[in-house]
Amino acid sequence: MELRPMSRLVIISNRVSVPTSDVGGAQGGLSVALAAALRESTGIWFGWSGEETAHFSGHINFQRNFGVTTATIDLEAQDIDEYYNGYANRTLWPLFHYRVDLAEFERGFAGGYERVNARFADTVAPLIEAEDLVWVHDYHLIPLGQKLRERGCRNRIGFFLHIPWPPTPLLLSLPSHRELVQSVFAYDVVGFQTLDSLEAFRDYARVQLDAEFGEDGSVTHEGRTIRAIACPIGIDTAEFRASATSEVALGVFERMRLSANGRTMIIGVDRLDYSKGLEERFLGYERFLGSHPDQHGAVFLLQIAPPSRADVQSYQEIRAHLDALSGRINGEFADAEWVPIRYVNKGHRRDQLAGMYRAARIGLVTPLRDGMNLVAKEYVAAQDPADPGVLILSRFAGAAEQLVDALLINPHSPEDMADAIATALAMPLAERIARWRRLMDNIEAEDVIWWRRRFTEALEAARPHPLPPG
């Protein structure tokens, strides 16, 4: 079979993380995955540097590290405020995570979102070569495809949404919902994490746009046809399994065992975000402690929650609530020798986390809503096959569509959570192994390489975009 050379890939996302090593170190799973894709195909990764500048100049900072070329721009304070803290994280994020009560609809935010998307388009367009595949990521940049088309870009452009797509009645509360969804039709391929999100998108297109649907997943609106697919993101399973038995991970594993002092460890690892259901998790664990006095002193919960988006008020509030709640539960149940919750507001390297996951009998992944949740997959991948832990997973994480052999729970119910913890603690080794093997089969088959290939192959198969009329 003749191997076609891979097209150059231009990845565009809000944040770009410059690779610090070949295997990740402190980086998140997604950055490791995208960096791996770029190493394989050449190309560039474009986005915001995370830095502020007094006046936006369009200056691009190119860097090449560990085989990956990154191109970043700085943004003005007003951009960061209106686009990142504003429209992305005070309007779209809560709304797309079913929290209309937290969503703020300010015209200034919408204006900043449009402006920054236009700035991205202006600066990245000259970097795009004729045959490049362009792959735009996440809710910060939904209109970017349209802005690139307006600047004459005829490349195949794909968009992948990492967070849930909300049901139509929720989306209707966004003042400019129609413009936002219509802008999606500038892409060639649009990927969602789950069938649930894909169906919600198709529902909006059917009900609000009167779109037409083809059998291959195509959706046509006002003469533009896109392919909308469900394409769940995975982890770099082989890399993560290797990192779980690395020297660093085994060192952490041993230290955790010593510090646990014979107690059973339950672990949660999440960005400090209201969508992660941390209050509900603490309340469920409190319920478990209340109904299982025999377990006092025998278990503890290690909750790692690095602060996130600290300029946004709802994030400041959730942090304050969790400080109070963890303090209350510890005050209620602790004794001189035992603290039931170890609550840590610090980020950790991936290999350290892998060691902690391996040392934990239970992985508690209970978001109220989540596009996917890669922690669930990493927890499973880090386990010792001969003595694996049990994953307790929210039904409302995208990962629940694939990881059906976890203990699936409703995170809103403290009783459900308490029962699942008791079930997991009592689960016989044979059942733990059987469940773990079935979970791993999925995590190995549908890993990040599978995800990237599936998406980029769909994009390669798209027809080149027609020239604009006239």
Q: Which residues bind ligand F6P (CB under 6 A)?
A: 15, 138, 162-163, 308-309
Residue ranges of alpha helices (H) inside 265-409 are: 278-291, 313-333, 350-359, 374-381
Q: Cβ(142)–Cβ(163) under 8 Å?
A: no
Q: Measured from the CB of residue 275, what is the shortest distance to ligand F6P in angstroms?
A: 10
Q: Which residues pair with 66 in a beta bridge?
A: none
> Which CB sits closer to ligand F6P, 176 or 308?
308
Q: Cβ(364)–Cβ(391) under 8 Å?
A: no
Q: Measured from the CB of residue 17, what is the shortest distance to ligand F6P in angstroms?
A: 8
Q: Cβ(238)–Cβ(377) under 8 Å?
A: no
> Which CB sits closer to ligand F6P, 291 or 308?
308
Residues 180 and 79: their CA atoms lie apart, in Å, by: 19
Q: Measured from the CB of residue 216, what is the shortest distance to ligand F6P in angstroms?
A: 28
> Which CB sits closer to ligand F6P, 160 or 187?
160
Q: Is there a catalytic annotation at residue 348?
A: no
Amino acid of residue 353: L
Residue whose CB is nearest to ligand F6P in the complex, by number? 162
> Which CB sits closer to ligand F6P, 63 or 308?
308
First to last CA, the chain: 41
> Which CB sits closer to ligand F6P, 136 or 299?
136
> Which CB sits closer to ligand F6P, 264 or 308?
308
Q: Measured from the CB of residue 308, what is the shortest distance to ligand F6P in angstroms?
A: 5
Active-site entry in 74, 162, 270, 273 = 162
Active-site entry in 236, 270, 370, 447 = 370
Residues in the chain: 470
> Which residues, in sequence order, are CB contacts of 393 under 8 Å at separation 6+?
365, 366, 373, 376, 399, 400, 403, 406, 407, 408, 409
Q: Is there a catalytic annotation at residue 162?
A: yes
Eight-state DSSP code of residue 186: T
Map residue 213 onto helix, strand or coil.
Answer: strand
Q: Cβ(372)–Cβ(397) under 8 Å?
A: yes
Q: Measured from the CB of residue 311, what is the shortest distance to ligand F6P in angstroms?
A: 10
Burial 7-28 (b: 16+ CB within 10 A, else e): bbbbbbbbbbbbbeeebbeebe
Token output for 9: 């890939």
Amino acid of residue 91: T
Q: Measured from the CB of residue 312, what is the shortest distance to ligand F6P in angstroms?
A: 9
Residues 342 and 300: their CA atoms lie apart, in Å, by: 7
List the catalytic residues: 162, 370
